[in-house]
Chains A and B, each alone.
Chain A
Amino acid sequence: MTNNDVIESLISRFKKNDKIALARLITIVENEPEKASKIFKHFENIKHDSYIIGLTGSPGVGKSTLTGAIAQKMLDEGKTVGIISVDPTSPFSGGAFLGDRVRMTNICLHPNVFMRSLASRGYKGGISRAVFDITMLYEAFGMDIIIIETVGVGQAEFDVYNLVYTVVVILVPGYGDVIQMQKAGIIEIGDIYDVNKKDLGGEDIAVQIEMMLDDTIFQSGYRPPVVLTDAISGEGIDELLQCIWDHKEHVELLGIKEKKKNRFKYKIKELIFTKVEKLIMENFVDENEVNNIVKNALEDGKFNIYSSIHKIFDKITLEIKKNS
């Protein structure tokens, strides 16, 4: 079979709800993004009706366990659920240890769930490049709900915000004081704040978040709730789920279209940027030239990388103007 035949046959199996075909198509969009157009031309008529939720927070706060716990409740409610869990790729070996599925073993046999572990593969922002395409595949597969669980993030990896309609930021007891709560970035993006591992405390963190929210102006009239959970015992999960449904209702009332537009804009910009970056790196940036700049900058005693870099910029600008 040629490559095209493989895709055609997978698509027809996919349309019959074959999870093996879904899994293989995910592999293709992940490994060979240039084939995405061949796949998605079959899904031009899909409705983007899945409701997409993002769970984010530092490593070890319980994102995977919480994902499993809320997915279980959603399945109990009769919904179909697609899960994407991302873990980091090693900058040294390019390998990854994906340890999210192990927290969700008890839901994985349910016929209405599909769960895929992804490695970040060098993509910044707490997700992986393939996440958007996989949400599209899940939408085409007819998932009611899609949950994206990010890499364990720090303060500035919040790209998931662009791909989902509800963001749950997860914290744990001991997170930090009033100063931490004032910082920009991850702590700003929550539609819901969850303090997990409540068996270890966390009431003080909940109060700190509430105080931070007191200082925030909410144009839409929606104020993010703060929930305390213990994902392992299941305490607080019903409350968290209710908060998610409440926010969903708010988003839908306000018009989910803006969120969807934002999601597609993010991907389109990313595709253009990736392509342009590749073209420029291939055509204008010579590794030897970079090495020479570094060498000269260090050896002639003047750290003048900017003047050397500008020569490259001038070359690129000239070339672009010539062709436009």
Chain B
Amino acid sequence: MSSRKIRVLMSKPGIDGHWRGGIVVSRAIRDAGMELIFGGFQNAKQIVEAAIQEDVDVLGLSIHSGAHFAYTKQVIDLLKEKGVFNDILILVGGVIPAQDFPKLKEMGVANIYGPGSMTNDIVEFIKTHLKK
């Protein structure tokens, strides 16, 4: 009866009001049979606490403000500090220039999804890259 469900937290660090992307991806994740916890607007501390208490496999950060380096670094530093970074797959989506992808990956982001990304690809990536 061990039916492991993939749990995903979708958060919007900061307060930029572009919800659509996060909602569309969340819906695709739900429809792929995973459990999606919608975090909405959260600061880095709230995101990490939610990821811990919900024991998620995946953390999605939806960022459209241009502050993707700052927010992602804060979140990853805190995940490391709490000792859970190695358990959680981190994905970033939103308006992210392609030239910023390598630096985000270097920071510990598993993949980045800009405008035009296919939701199927995100679902497939999650299924094949889980850390635990």
Binding site for B on A (CB under 8 A): 19-20, 23-24, 26-27, 31-34, 89-90, 93-99, 101-102, 105, 108-109, 114-117, 119, 121
Contact = CB atoms under 8 A, between A and B. Distances in A.
Given A20-B84, A31-B3, A108-B46, A97 B53 contact: no
A102 B46 CA distance: 11
B34 interface: yes
A20 B40 contact: no
Given A96-B30, A109-B45, A119-B5, A101 B36 contact: no
A115 B50 CA distance: 8
Contacts of A102: 38-40
A99 B35 CA distance: 11
Interface of B: 1-5, 26-27, 29-42, 45-46, 49-50, 52-55, 82-84
Given A31-B3, A97-B27, A109-B45, A20 B82 contact: yes
A4 to B, nearest CB: 15
Contacts of A101: 37-39, 50, 54
Contacts of A19: 52-53
Contacts of A96: 30, 35-36
A27 B55 contact: yes
B42 A93 contact: no
Contacts of B33: 90, 93-95
B36 A98 contact: yes
A97 B1 CA distance: 22
Contacts of A20: 52, 82-84
Residue of A34, A93, A96, A121 contacting most chain B CB atoms (<10 Å):
A96
A111 to B, nearest CB: 10
A34 to B, nearest CB: 6
A254 to B, nearest CB: 34
Contacts of A95: 29-36
Contact of B37 (A24, A33, A94, A98): A98
